[in-house]
Amino acid sequence: MRAVSEQIEIPTDPAAPPADSAVVRDALGVGVAVGLSGFAFGVTSAGAGLGLLQTCALSLLVFTGASQFALVGALAAGGNPFTAAAGAFFLGVRNAFYGLRLSGLLGLPRAVRPLAAQWVIDETSAVALAQPDRRTARLGFTVTGLTLYALWNLTTLIGALGASALGDTDAWGLDAAGPAVFLALLAPMLSGTVERAVAGLGVLLVLLCQPVLPAGVPVLVAALAAPVVLTVHGRMARDAEPGERR
C-alpha cells in the first residue's frame, strides 16, 4: 500500500478546517481504491500456494500490504519461515514511525491504542496527517481505517476464492501484480539522489545474490544498501570542504 498523500487535497486556508464531508470523501476515496487491491493480494497469495485460511489470516492479522506481498513472494520462492518473515517485518517497521507522528495528533486514550494500532499504515497516516486538527484527523483516520480494513479483507477473500477458478494465474499475468505493487509503493519515495542510490544498489545486490544464496536471503542482503549508502553519503559530506558544499 502506498503513501497517498499526493492524492489528498490540503485546504488552502489553514485557519478554516475542512468540512467533515470533505474529510470523509477523501478518506473513502483512499480506502476504496486501495482496499480493492486486496483482490490482487488474494490471488497472488493463493497462486503462491497458501491456503484460503492462511491468505485471509495474513490480511486480517498483518494488514500492511507490502509486508504481505513480500511474505508470500518469499514463501513461494522456497524461503524458510524466518528469512521470509524478516523481509516482511523490515517493510513493516516504517509503520512505527507513522505511529510516532499519529500518537501526538490523535491523542488516543491508552485503552484504544491496541485497537487503533492495527490500522496504522501508509494510507491512514497520510489521510490523518493531512488534517489540520485533532477532530478531523481522528475522523480521517477512522473512516480510512474502517473502509480499508473491511474492503481489503473482503477482496482478499474474493481473490483467494477466485484464484482456483482462474486456473493458471500466471497465464492471466497475475504474477506481475506483486512487483507492480512494490513499484507503485517505491516510486513516490525516489525523490532524492540518496534514495535512488539505495534503490539501485538494492536491485544490484538482490540480482547478484539470487543465483547463489538460499531463498529469502538475497532480499535481506539488499536491505544493507540503506546503511551502506547512508555511510558513504555521510563520509562524502564530511570530506567535502565547507566551501565546496552548495
Partner 1 sequence: MTTWIAIGVTAAGCYLVKLLGLSVPAGVLERPLVRRLAALLPVALLAALTAQQTFSDGRHLLLDARAAGLGAAALALVLRAPFLVVVAVAVAVTAGVRAL
Task: Compare residues 19 and 176 and give the one whose CB is closer to partner 1.
Answer: 176
Is 4 in contact with 128 (CB distance < 8 Å)? no
Tell which positions 151-210 bind partner 1, by CB under 8 A. 170-187, 189-190, 194-195, 198-203, 205-207, 210
Among 23, 95, 126, 159, binds partner 1 (CB under 8 A): 95
Task: Compare residues 34 and 160 and give the one whose CB is closer to partner 1.
Answer: 34
129 forms part of the interface with partner 1 (CB under 8 A): no
Cell 470523509 appears where?
24
Show the CA angle centred on residue 103, arms to residues 18 and 23, nearest 5°.
Answer: 20
107 forms part of the interface with partner 1 (CB under 8 A): no
For 96, the 3-state DSSP assignment is: helix
Task: Compare residues 17 and 129 and give the one whose CB is closer to partner 1.
Answer: 129
Is 179 in contact with 77 (CB distance < 8 Å)? no
- The long-range contacts involving 192-198, CB below 8 angstroms and separated by at least 24 positions, are 194/229, 194/230, 194/233, 197/229, 197/233, 198/225, 198/226, 198/229, 198/230
Distances (CA, A) of 246 to 59, 185, 238, 240, 243: 47, 31, 13, 10, 8
148 forms part of the interface with partner 1 (CB under 8 A): no
Among 50, 128, 151, 163, binds partner 1 (CB under 8 A): 50
Q: Which residues contact 217 (CB under 8 A, 6 or more apart)?
A: 79, 83, 209
5 forms part of the interface with partner 1 (CB under 8 A): no
**Residues recorded for the chain:** 246
67 forms part of the interface with partner 1 (CB under 8 A): yes
Q: Which stretch binds partner 1 (CB under 8 A): 20-28, 131-139, 218-226, 236-244?
A: 218-226
37 forms part of the interface with partner 1 (CB under 8 A): yes
Task: Compare residues 140 and 178 and give the one whose CB is closer to partner 1.
Answer: 178
146 forms part of the interface with partner 1 (CB under 8 A): no
150 forms part of the interface with partner 1 (CB under 8 A): no
Task: Compare residues 22 and 54 and give the one whose CB is closer to partner 1.
Answer: 54
